Amino acid sequence: QQQVKQSPQSLIVQKGGISIINCAYENTAFDYFPWYQQFPGKGPALLIAIRPDVSEKKEGRFTISFNKSAKQFSLHIMDSQPGDSATYFCAASMRLGNFNKFYFGSGTKLNVKP
Amino acid sequence: DAGITQSPRHKVTETGTPVTLRCHQTENHRYMYWYRQDPGHGLRLIHYSYGVKDTDKGEVSDGYSVSRSKTEDFLLTLESATSSQTSVYFCAISESLNNEQFFGPGTRLTVL
């Protein structure tokens, strides 16, 4: 079963608007929650990440909100720009023996219209 | 792409043929990973390595094998390619268990 559920699949936002992408998980052993940004033809790139001991992390226009009790976390992109148009993946990881196992959401394709 | 190269970048092959994809890093990172990316599935782990000659299976390892004879190289082999292995393959590296993974540019593989 899918360990990390991501929504929506696609999102259209006007320039200057707020983009919100949501993820939910079940396994409370997860201890690291990154978001990746991927442009066509490129590999995913780490955008921002959070650990469950904090409820929010902000880096520039990007904010992660984390709700431990609800087992949900979300990415907010403030003042969205056309250059933000990309596919975004959430992920969750946990330590399994000798490595960190990552589980990825299915991705959200964001289109920011000028 | 954090000193990671993948080769080839694109490959078209026929069912039943062997295929080897290469991941090369210049970062001297200990951990290396192979993922496949398919629409609606995100990224799924195929195999990973935690050191030279130390490898283990991920969640979708059937039909794939790996080898790591040097720190900088991690090879993914499809012994007999099938159409279900048509996908985009990404290599990733991480320095330690600090959770940050860096991804390569990907290899688009088509099995006809």
Domain boundaries, chain A: 4-113
- Position A101 scores a pLDDT of 86
- Residues in A closer than 8 angstroms to B99, CB to CB, are 32, 34, 49, 93, 100
Domain A4-113 has CATH 1.20.120.550: no
Q: Is the pLDDT of residue B99 over 80?
A: no
Q: What CATH number belongs to B4-98?
A: 2.60.40.10
- Position A2 scores a pLDDT of 73
Q: Average pLDDT for residues A46-64, to the nearest whole number?
A: 95
- Residues in A closer than 8 angstroms to B40, CB to CB, are 106
**Which residue in the set B42, B50, B100 is minimally distant from A46, CB to CB?**
B100
d(CA A17, CA B14): 46
Q: Average pLDDT for residues A38-48, to the nearest whole number?
A: 93
Q: Average pLDDT for residues B12-35, to the nearest whole number?
A: 96
- Position A75 scores a pLDDT of 98
Domain boundaries, chain B: 4-98
**Which residue in the set A45, A89, A99 is minimally distant from B42, CB to CB?**
A89
Q: What is the DSSP pairing of strand B64-70 with strand B10-13?
A: unpaired
First-residue to last-residue Cα distance in chain B: 29
- Position B95 scores a pLDDT of 86
